[in-house]
Each structure stands twice: as C-alpha cells, then as structure tokens.
Amino acid sequence: MRGLRRLNWLGGSAGWLWLIIVMVPLYWIVVTSFKDQTAYFAQNPFALPTEPTLANYQLVIQSDFPRYFVNSVIVTAGTIVPAVTIAFMAAYAIVRGAGSRFLAGANGLFLMGLAIPLQATIIPVYLLIIRMRLYDSLLAIILPSIAFAIPLSVLVLTNFIRDVPKELFESMRVDGATEWGMLRTLALPLTRPALVTVAIYNGLGVWNGFLLPLILTQSPTQRTLPLALWTFQGQYSVNVPAVLASVVLTTLPIVILYAVGRRQLLSGLTAGFSR
Amino acid sequence: MVVPALVMFVVFGVVPLVGVLVLSFTQWDGLGAIRPAGVANWRVVLGDPGLPHAVGVTFAVMGLSWAVQTPVSLLIGTFLAGRQRYRGLLAVLYFVPLLLSSAAIAITYKALLDPNFGLGAGLKIGFLTQDWLGRGGLALGVVIFVVSWQFIPFHSLIYQGGVRQIPTSMYEAAAIDGAGRVRQFFSITVPQLKYTIITSSTLMAVGSLTFFDLIFVLTAGGPGDATRVLALDMYKRGFQANLMGPASVIAVLLVLLGLALALLLRRLGGSTTASQQEGA
C-alpha cells in the first residue's frame, strides 16, 4: 500500500507540475497581449493589465491579418475536403478489395509514406510547382498538402472501415447495391467519427503549416497565418505585446474549434494511434 | 476508387522522392537550367565538416527530446488514464500547446526568453535573464524544452489510450500477489505498453527529423551552427545559398535516416503497422 501511495504521488505531482509548465506561458501570452508597451516594461509580467488595451489587436488586424486568415481558411479547407474524400475512397477500395495485388501495393506505398519525412522532398516539390506554373499561389500549398495528408488518413480510415461487419456489405450486395452505393450509404455513416478525426488532425497540420508556404509562395497577398506571424514578428520584434496579440489572434479560431470538437479529436487520436 | 489518392500521392510524394535523388546529382540554383553534375555534390557535402556537426545536432535533438518526453509522457499518460473527472479536465488543458503552430510557439518563447525584454527582465530574476538563445549549449537545451512542451501532451494522450486498454484484472492479480504500485507500473504497465512505446518513439524520432519550423523561427540554427539540424541545413543550402544540388544530398540523407529509424524501431517490436491493422 505504501508503494501505491508513492506512485500516485509521483504521477499526481508530475501531472500538476506539467499543468503549470503548460499554463504559465499561455497565461503570459494572453495577459501581455492586453498591455501597452510601457505597462509591459513597468509591470510584473504576470500581473493583470491595470489599463487593458486593445491597441495591440488593432495593430495586428490593420496589418492585413484578415486577409491572411482568409488565405489560411482557403488552404485548409481546400486541402482537407479533397484529401479526406480521396483517402476515404482509397481506404474503402483497399478494405473491400483485400486480395488484389494492385491494392495491396497501393496500401504498401501509402504506409511507406508514414516512415518518410515528406518535408525532405521539398526541393523537387518546389521544382514541380514552378514547372506547373503554380508558384506563389494558394494552390501551390494545397496540392502537396493533400498528398502529404494521404498516408495517415488512409491508415486510420482503413482501420475503421475494417470494423464494418462483412455481413452488412453482403446483404446490401444481395439487394443490388453498387460499391459506390455501399460507400455512401453504409461505410460513410459508420466511419463518420473517423472522418471527422482525420479531418481535424490534418486540418490542424495544414493550418499551422510553415514550410510549404515559406517555400512555395512569396508575395504578401498569398501569405498564410504562420508565415504572417513570422514576418510580423520580424517587423515588430521589440513590441512584445503586439507580437503576442498576433499569436493569440491566429490561435483563437483553433481554440474555439477545439472547445467545440474536443471529444471527437481526443478520442479519435487515441483510437488512431494506441493500437 | 483508389486512383485519385494514388495519383496525388505519386505526383507529389513518390515522384519528388525519386526526384530528390536525381537532383542530388545535378547543379541547380533554383531558377535557371538544371545541369548534370555527377557526384560533385556528394563529394562536397560528404567532405564538409559541417555535415557531421549537423548530423550530431540532429541526433542530439532526437535523443535528448526522446529521453525527456518518453518518461514524462508515460507518467502523465498513466496518471491521466485514471477516470477521475478532474483528470479529464487536465487532459483538455494539456492539449492546448498542440493547437499552436510551431511558428507561434517559437515566437512566444523567443519573446519570453529575451534577455532584455523577456520574462527574466520583467521579474528581475538573474537566472532567467541569461542569453538563452545566444549561447550554443543553452540554445540546444531551449530547443529540447520547447519541443517537449509542444509534444508531451500528444504522447501523453497516446499513452493514456494505451494504459486504458490494459485489462484491470492484471492489476488486481498483481495486487493480490502483494505488488505495490511502483512494482505494478514496471512489471505490468510498461511491458504491456510495449507497442505503444514503439509507436510513440517512432513518431518522435521520425518527427524530430522535421523540426524545421520551430528551430527556424526560434534560433535560425544559431548561435553559429549550434542548432543547425539537417532539415535546416537543407533549407539554408537550398533556399538561402541557392545550391539545390548539395541541399538535395542532405534531403536524401534525411529520407534514408527516416527509413532506417522506422525499420529499426519496427524490428525492435515486431511490426507495429501490422498490429495496428489487426487491432482494428
């Protein structure tokens, strides 16, 4: 029994300590973003602002952040909708066509993609995008992002489609349903939680992506939020409150989405990996 | 139905993968014509004393961040596996760092650790006002801390899921045999989590090869070359020095490293992907 108490104590304090380590910087970001520069230097960094100001947020919004926000939304939606759709179709085909060598080969190729740091292929991707005359467009970010999202999406979705009992497919086939019909009316509703999970997980990655926009675009009009953050920080590095306001503003939409869809994301993530 | 996904993945995944190998034997400045260059790039890069250094930094980041993240994530994951309500609430808060982009995290820590304008100066604590990102060893330490801050929540969740799948009967049997919690942790929890540990370690190891954005924004590889990992080395050679050939050589090395790591870890624990498929 003494051992029991000791490890609980250790795990418990690790848990609470980590909570502090996570929350302190986050708290500091939010509090500081409402201070003006003089208050920032004069005050205790953890004190609440005595005269809270929205000036930092104003500065960020005036620096074209609404446009970057729209760009990020376009890139994220433009990646996730096609990526999840084609990954779902591929996963369905792989599960239903078990035994086909072509499909097994395709699946093997996708699995290989999991082991390779795809960012290492950025130079040929850059060449490809130039040759397709897509350089410095949002599509230049979208196309490779779709490809990079496929391996993990296919893996997670095949796992879930396999869970659909074979008898259901059989009885539908007897009733004359086509594969496309079964995909829509049987597999789609039953794997919806997995689809949402995959969409959120990849969406997060694309929304926060930095390397592809950095390399495949150049003009400010094509900037996405992480890149905008970086350039904003380069411009206003001394104005810490403004920089932190930009961090808050770019993260806020995700935090709101997280608050809404958290259960889905957390349970989906553990289901996808802890096997 | 597999065709659209296959086409996309082949065009923007497999073709570039082959392309990077081809480009490593050419000379290209990123704009003009591409000319064959034989093994010149390979000779230059492999003979560059900067390469062993970059490889060393890459492995240091990988090894140290693994060594910090794994025990902490295991501990927190086991703790979170308890069904108490407040632990669920903790899990919600833990996950927040994973929502932030690496760029946002790097920018935050850069501001936070600034010796003149950062937290240390504000709190007037001498220990905190060091030039964290200006001294080699310290900067590497900061990178590892920030990586852990960002990813421990994710790996804790993976472990939480793993722990919850361990049958409680095993713990009950151990308790009857008189094993304490510490003993149970090391004789049941850890061995039962073998596959989870391998999955999580694979994700950490392969993922650490792509810590580009975080390090790029936080230190840009500096001070000097102290945090110049391979991914950053590739970027700097290719897109700053406009030497795409040598940069492609680094990229090939990165791909090989990723494959070797994945294969090694897979061999260590049997096949993780197979167990993932069967576990469905």
pLDDT level of residue A5 (50, 70, 90 thresholds): very low
Greater model confidence, B133 or B45:
B45
CB of A114 within 8 Å of a chain B CB? The answer is yes
Q: How far is B3 from chain A (nearest CA, A)?
A: 7
Alpha-carbon gap, residue A8 to B279, rounded angstroms: 30
Tens digit of each residue's pLDDT (9 = 90 or more) over B219-248: 887 787 888 899 999 999 999 988 999 999
Q: How far is A240 from chain B (nearest CA, A)?
A: 6
C-beta atoms of A207 and B101 within 8 A? yes
Q: How far is A247 from chain B (nearest CA, A)?
A: 6
C-alpha distances in angstroms, B250 versus A100, B22, B150, B230? Answer: 37, 13, 26, 7
C-beta atoms of B149 and A125 within 8 A? no
Q: How far is A246 from chain B (nearest CA, A)?
A: 9
Q: What is the DSSP letter of B239?
A: I
Alpha-carbon gap, residue B69 to B159, rounded angstroms: 12
Least confident of A221-235, B81-95, B129-143, B261-275: B261-275
Residue among A111, A179, A210 whose CB faces B102 most closely: A210
Mean pLDDT value of segment A47-60: 84
Residue of A nearest to B230 (CA): A120
Which residues 129-188 in chain A show a CB within 8 A of chain B? 143-144, 146-148, 150-151, 154-155, 158-160, 162-163, 179, 183
Residue among A26, A41, A146 whose CB faces B8 most closely: A146
Nearest to A224 by CA among A34, A117, A77, A126: A77
C-beta atoms of A229 and B162 within 8 A? no
C-beta atoms of A120 and B209 within 8 A? yes
CB of B26 within 8 Å of a chain A CB? The answer is no
Residue of A nearest to B8 (CA): A147
Residue among B80, B102, B119 whose CB faces A45 most closely: B119
pLDDT at A270: 57
pLDDT level of residue B199 (50, 70, 90 thresholds): confident
Nearest to A78 by CA among A123, A122, A144: A144
C-beta atoms of B99 and A115 within 8 A? no
CB of B165 within 8 Å of a chain A CB? The answer is yes
Tens digit of each residue's pLDDT (9 = 90 or more) over A232-274: 988 887 788 899 999 999 888 888 888 777 766 666 555 555 4
All residues of chain A having their beta carbon less than 8 Å from the beta carbon of residue B115 are none
Which residues 26-65 in chain A show a CB within 8 A of chain B? 26, 28-29, 40-41, 43-46
Q: What are phi and psi of B36, to 5 degrees?
A: -65, 145
Alpha-carbon gap, residue A39 to A46, rounded angstroms: 12
The pLDDT of residue A189 is above 90: no
Least confident of A134-138, A234-238, B11-15, B45-49: A234-238
The pLDDT of residue A41 is above 90: no
Cis peptide before B223 (omega within 30 of 0): yes
Residue among A10, A106, A225 whose CB faces B6 most closely: A106
The pLDDT of residue B274 is above 60: no
Site from A1, A18, A247 to mutate, B interface, most B CB atoms within 10 angstroms: A18
Q: How far is A175 from chain B (nearest CA, A)?
A: 22
DSSP conformation letters of A146-208: HHHHHHHHHHHHHHHHHTS-HHHHHHHHHTT--HHHHIIIIIHHHTHHHHHHHHHHHHHHHHT
pLDDT at B116: 74
All residues of chain B having their beta carbon less than 8 Å from the beta carbon of residue A198 are none
Which of A107-111, B22-26, B80-84 is most confident? B22-26
C-alpha distances in angstroms, A14 versus B77, B120, B131, B164, B165? Answer: 10, 24, 28, 19, 22
| A vs B: CB pairs below 8 A | 302
Per-position b or e across A229-251, b if 16+ CB within 10 A of its CB: bbebbeebeebbbbbbbbbbbbb
CB of B110 within 8 Å of a chain A CB? The answer is yes
Which residues 191-230 in chain A show a CB within 8 A of chain B? 204, 207-211, 215, 225-227, 229-230
Domains and CATH numbers, chain B: 51-241 (1.10.3720.10)
Site from A7, A30, A102, A142 to mutate, B interface, most B CB atoms within 10 angstroms: A7
Bridge partners of B26, per DSSP, are B36
Domains and CATH numbers, chain A: 2-53 (no CATH), 62-273 (1.10.3720.10)
The pLDDT of residue B133 is above 80: no
CB of B69 within 8 Å of a chain A CB? The answer is no
Residue of B nearest to A201 (CA): B99
Quick one: tokens of B117?
Answer: 């304008």
Nearest to B230 by CA among B11, B57, B99: B57
Q: What is the DSSP letter of B35?
A: E
C-alpha distances in angstroms, A235 versus A81, A127, A229, A240? Answer: 34, 30, 10, 11
Residue among A87, A122, A275 whose CB faces B279 most closely: A275
Burial of A157 per CB tally in 10 Å (0-12, 13-18, 19+) = buried
Q: Which residues contact A222 (CB under 8 A, 6 or more apart)?
A: A71, A136, A137, A138, A213
What average pLDDT does the structure give for chain A? 85
All residues of chain A having their beta carbon less than 8 Å from the beta carbon of residue B233 are none
pLDDT at B270: 55
C-beta atoms of B206 and A117 within 8 A? yes
